[in-house]
Structure 1
Amino acid sequence: MVQGCTSNAGKSYLTAALCRALADEGYRVAPFKAQNMSNNAGVTPAGLEMGRAQLVQARAARVTPDVRMNPVLLKPEADTRSQVVLLGRASPELTALGWRERKAHLWPHVREALHSLLSEFDVVVIEGAGSPAEVNLRSSDIVNMRVALEAQAGVLLACDIDRGGAFAHLLGTWHCLTPEERALLRGFVLNRFRGDPGLLAPAPQWLEEQTGVPTVGVVPMLDIPLPEEDGVALDGPQATVDGGFVAIARLPRVSNLDEFAPLGLLARWVSAPAELEGARAVILPGSKSTAADLAWLRASGLAGAITRAALAGIPVFGVCGGLQMLGQRVGDPHGIEAQTSGTGEVPGLGLLDLSTELAPDKTTLLTTFTDAETGLHLSGYEIHHGRTVAGPNVDELAPGLLWRRGNVRGTYLHGLLENPAYLERFLGWAGLTPPTALDSLDARLDAIAARVRASLDWPLIQRLAGGGA
């Protein structure tokens, strides 16, 4: 099991690397994360929803994604409310429960999923969430040490040494654990290290004297991207104005932001009208709360700025919730978001002649289709509550999936820009040159696995994989 001192310590990245490295040694490997909190979700071949990180880890392990690998997915809808997705399906009943009340209902499903994977695979590589040191959450824990104890998993505790304070983080986390939990710790991992590892001495030795736990790896900072699990990616490098850029609205409840990674440094997340200056294209991304994010667009002034950009001929592209915002109206007769007006609907931006109503049942599909505009055969995935109907003043390029009116396009298909040919067309409409193509995901996983394997005490990992102490 890979746990971390903090969120964004690199747990998902390290777990993916271990899945690929162990799969390369002939093990049948499955990833597992009991509970994910993220609006970056994807769809399994069975049409069920799970966290994007576990989809990538399943790819790393070369196995078919299965919702047992992420039995609980929490999708934030507001600061104090998240939709609960249990075994791939949204659960209104569990969503209505308080945070601590959910444990009794969720833990049996987590435990069953964990043990079924343990019975079917040689190795299960488990990812924790946040930090196991949150003592205020120990009683409701179903994702960190509760899982480690259930599986009797050897635990690697990782910290992001690039942030500073790494040894204090590791020592402090160790102190917050119970003796039973500490007994599972097999090693500390210093992640994202820049420089000469020889300069770390004598700190690792000192830490082992304090805790009895050795430092078993110093993993370098790796410039090999994987799809992001959450909104941390919003704080990454932004595009410069030289040569233009693609502006992506930084919606408060943005979802599936990882699908824009192929834009590379051509992307800039924007929050105010002035930040659109120099943009050659505008994207409205997916949203977990379409009505609330529409209100934010109007309050921030971006709604008007995006409309003016569209009228000026700049390409505007909406994905899922962003598509719904580009339409004439979004109705919510069933209170799915419970943030619409008293009439049960909110007006859209009116750039596409579309009308959307949110439905109780969520569509979750892997989808392929042929785009009537470009003739390209494209693939992606759908995750939405909306049912959208086209009016006479919009071109339907793929039934129920893709629409266009002039330079404004909208789609329900997440991942459309992850199709290289479509990305090239989109950037061509904007007059931009595609970034240097990323290596395939498999090539990146291979490279990451090789680097991480070389940075860890690999004989220890082999002993843990074989069930050794």
Structure 2
Amino acid sequence: MFMGCTSDAGKSLVCALVCRHLTNLGSNVTPFKAQNMSNNAAVTQEGGEIGRAQYLQAIAAKQTPSIDMNPVLLKPHSDKGAQVVVNGEVSHELLAKDWHQRKSVLWPAVTASLARLQQGFSQLVIEGAGSPAEVNLRKSDIVNMEVALHCNASVYLIADIDRGGAYAHLLGTWMCLSAEEQSLVKGFVLNKFRGEQALLHDANVWLEEKTGIPIVAVIPWTEHQLPEEDNFFHRSVWQANCLNIALIVYPYASNLDEFDPLVYQPGVNVVPMRDNQDLGHFDAIILPGSKHVAASRKHLAKTGLDKQIIKAAKQGVRVTGICGGLQILGERNLDPSSVEGETFDGLALLPLTTVYSNVKTTIQRSINYCDETIACYEIHHGQTQCSVQVDSFVEQATGWQLNNVQGSYLHDLLTNRKVCQDWLESLGWQGQCEDWNQVVDNELDRLCDKLDLPLSQISEHAGIAKA
């Protein structure tokens, strides 16, 4: 089991790589994270939601993603609130409960999923959340040491040495644990290291003298093209001689990793846009999904980005909305069930009206696109109707297009080679897209080859031999 001293220590990526490494060794392995907090979600074959990180880890393990791999998913929709997804479905009951009262409901779901996975797989790679040293959350813990104690897991603590203070983080985290919990910690892992490892020797000895626990592996800083768990770290500005795409990163933007095929495409420059800027010189504007569409729409009005999007659309700039972004492009969003908290106007760039309800659509889709079958998924509240006849975008009834403005409820469109190729070529780009799912799979193998030493050190220390 891998836990971090802090958030963003690299737990999710390490777990994904360990899953692929052990799978390559012949182990029948599966990922597990009891509770994730992220607005980046995927839909499983069962039609349930799990975190995108656990979806990637399942792919790394060459397993079919399942809701058991992430039985509890928290999707923030305000500074203090989050939608609670249990076993893949939204739990309206838990929204009304105080956080510390939820454990009695959530813990049985966690242990049931864990038991099913233990029965079906020989090896589990378990990821914690945040840090086990967050003593204010110990009472309601269902994801860190509570899980480790339940299944007697070997725990490896990960520290991000690039941000500084790694040894203090490791020692302090270990000291915050009870004696029983400390006994489960078998090793420390330093992640994102830049430099000569020999310089770490004295500090490694010092830490082991203090705790009795060795530094098992040092993972060097490694650039990669795998999706981020939650944050969108890509940064850029408008560049000459490129296809420039403005990605509107409003509050509660979701599933931003589905635009990775654009971010890493040669000759394409994706620029995250959060504040008021002139968008008329961009080749395209993308409005992504949102966990709280009304709040995202308010951000556009507050910053003045809404006026810039409308102005650019009238100038002929391509505007594409996905899911919540599609709803924002419409005329009216009605909320009789208070899903979004209020009824609000969209940008009126598409003749659409959306009506929200408590029913949430979560489904994997296979659709025909230009005589090819492509994989995608829907994950949204609300049903949308078009008031006048317009062209369909990708698929009728889930996507609409009026001149240079288009939107769709279908996620992961651009991970499909043909869709991405057509979309970029329509903007004047010249190049050759690859199937992004294959790119991700190849990237997992590339990283495992490059990081074979630290991954082998971890697996050997944990006593996992080649099958």
TM over 0.5: yes
Judged with a 3 Å threshold, the aligned counterparts in structure 2 of structure 1 residues 461 and 435 are, in CA distance, closer, same or farther, namely: farther
Preserved contact between residue 323 and residue 408 of structure 2 (Cα < 8 Å) = yes
Preserved contact between residue 263 and residue 434 of structure 1 (Cα < 8 Å) = no
Q: Give the 5 Å matches for 1:355-374.
A: 355-371=353-369
Preserved contact between residue 2 and residue 11 of structure 2 (Cα < 8 Å) = yes
The residue identity in structure 2 corresponding to 1:336 is: V
Report the alpha carbon displacement of residue 368 of structure 1 after superposing the two structures with TM: 2.2
Q: Give the 5 Å matches for 1:159-178.
A: 159-178=159-178
Identity among equivalent positions (%) equals: 46
SS where residue 292 of structure 1 aligns?
A: helix
The residue identity in structure 1 corresponding to 2:307 is: G
Q: Give the 5 Å matches for 1:382-401.
A: 382-397=378-393, 398-401=395-398
Report the alpha carbon displacement of residue 209 of structure 1 after superposing the two structures with TM: 0.7
Structure 2 Cα separation of the partners of residues 12 and 330 of structure 1 = 36
Structure 1 Cα separation of the partners of residues 15 and 371 of structure 2 = 38
Report the alpha carbon displacement of residue 413 of structure 1 after superposing the two structures with TM: 0.6
Report the alpha carbon displacement of residue 201 of structure 1 after superposing the two structures with TM: 1.9
Structure 2 Cα separation of the partners of residues 123 and 225 of structure 1 = 26
Preserved contact between residue 154 and residue 462 of structure 2 (Cα < 8 Å) = no
What residue is the counterpart of 2:219 in the other structure? Answer: 219
What residue is the counterpart of 1:445 in the other structure? Answer: 444
The residue identity in structure 2 corresponding to 1:337 is: E
What residue is the counterpart of 1:94 in the other structure? Answer: 94
Structure 1 Cα separation of the partners of residues 162 and 450 of structure 2 = 17
Structure 2 Cα separation of the partners of residues 273 and 61 of structure 1 = 42
Judged with a 3 Å threshold, the aligned counterparts in structure 2 of structure 1 residues 154 and 94 are, in CA distance, closer, same or farther, namely: same
Is the deviation greater in 457-466 or in 317-326? 457-466
Report the alpha carbon displacement of residue 272 of structure 1 after superposing the two structures with TM: 2.2
The residue identity in structure 1 corresponding to 2:4 is: G
What residue is the counterpart of 1:354 in the other structure? Answer: 352
415, 427, 434: which one pairs with 1:430?
A: 427
String of CA shifts for 1:80-114, please: whole Å, max 9, x gaps. 00000000000111122121111111011101111
Q: Give the 5 Å matches for 1:100-249.
A: 100-231=100-231, 233=232, 235-244=233-242, 245-249=244-248
Preserved contact between residue 270 and residue 276 of structure 1 (Cα < 8 Å) = no
Preserved contact between residue 217 and residue 458 of structure 2 (Cα < 8 Å) = no
Structure 2 Cα separation of the partners of residues 81 and 279 of structure 1 = 35
Report the alpha carbon displacement of residue 298 of structure 1 after superposing the two structures with TM: 1.1
What residue is the counterpart of 1:326 in the other structure? Answer: 329
- Give the aligned CA root-mean-square deviation in angstroms: 1.8
Structure 1 Cα separation of the partners of residues 371 and 305 of structure 2 = 33
Preserved contact between residue 75 and residue 84 of structure 1 (Cα < 8 Å) = yes
Judged with a 3 Å threshold, the aligned counterparts in structure 2 of structure 1 residues 163 and 175 are, in CA distance, closer, same or farther, namely: same
407, 415, 418: which one pairs with 1:418?
A: 415
Report the alpha carbon displacement of residue 276 of structure 1 after superposing the two structures with TM: 2.8
Report the alpha carbon displacement of residue 188 of structure 1 after superposing the two structures with TM: 0.7
Q: Give the 5 Å matches for 1:17-96.
A: 17-96=17-96
What residue is the counterpart of 1:261 in the other structure? Answer: 260
281, 288, 292: which one pairs with 2:291?
A: 288
Structure 2 Cα separation of the partners of residues 270 and 163 of structure 1 = 26
SS where residue 309 of structure 1 aligns?
A: helix
The residue identity in structure 2 corresponding to 1:50 is: I
Preserved contact between residue 280 and residue 317 of structure 2 (Cα < 8 Å) = no
Report the alpha carbon displacement of residue 419 of structure 1 after superposing the two structures with TM: 1.5
Is the deviation greater in 124-133 or in 387-396? 387-396
User: Which runs of 5 or more residues in structure 2 are unaligned?
Assistant: none
Report the alpha carbon displacement of residue 422 of structure 1 after superposing the two structures with TM: 1.8
How many positions carry a matched residue from both structures?
457
SS where residue 202 of structure 1 aligns?
A: helix
Report the alpha carbon displacement of residue 461 of structure 1 after superposing the two structures with TM: 3.7
Preserved contact between residue 421 and residue 433 of structure 2 (Cα < 8 Å) = no
Report the alpha carbon displacement of residue 243 of structure 1 after superposing the two structures with TM: 2.7
Report the alpha carbon displacement of residue 459 of structure 1 after superposing the two structures with TM: 7.0
Report the alpha carbon displacement of residue 51 of structure 1 after superposing the two structures with TM: 0.7
SS where residue 283 of structure 1 aligns?
A: strand
SS where residue 64 of structure 1 aligns?
A: coil
The residue identity in structure 1 corresponding to 2:396 is: P
SS where residue 352 of structure 1 aligns?
A: coil
Preserved contact between residue 334 and residue 344 of structure 2 (Cα < 8 Å) = yes
Judged with a 3 Å threshold, the aligned counterparts in structure 2 of structure 1 residues 202 and 75 are, in CA distance, closer, same or farther, namely: same
What residue is the counterpart of 1:312 in the other structure? Answer: 315
User: Which runs of 5 or more residues in structure 1 are unaligned?
Assistant: none
Report the alpha carbon displacement of residue 213 of structure 1 after superposing the two structures with TM: 0.5
Report the alpha carbon displacement of residue 375 of structure 1 after superposing the two structures with TM: 6.0
Preserved contact between residue 448 and residue 455 of structure 2 (Cα < 8 Å) = no
Preserved contact between residue 264 and residue 435 of structure 1 (Cα < 8 Å) = no
Preserved contact between residue 241 and residue 278 of structure 1 (Cα < 8 Å) = no
Judged with a 3 Å threshold, the aligned counterparts in structure 2 of structure 1 residues 246 and 433 are, in CA distance, closer, same or farther, namely: farther
Is the deviation greater in 287-296 or in 262-271? 262-271
Judged with a 3 Å threshold, the aligned counterparts in structure 2 of structure 1 residues 453 and 347 are, in CA distance, closer, same or farther, namely: same
Structure 1 Cα separation of the partners of residues 172 and 458 of structure 2 = 27
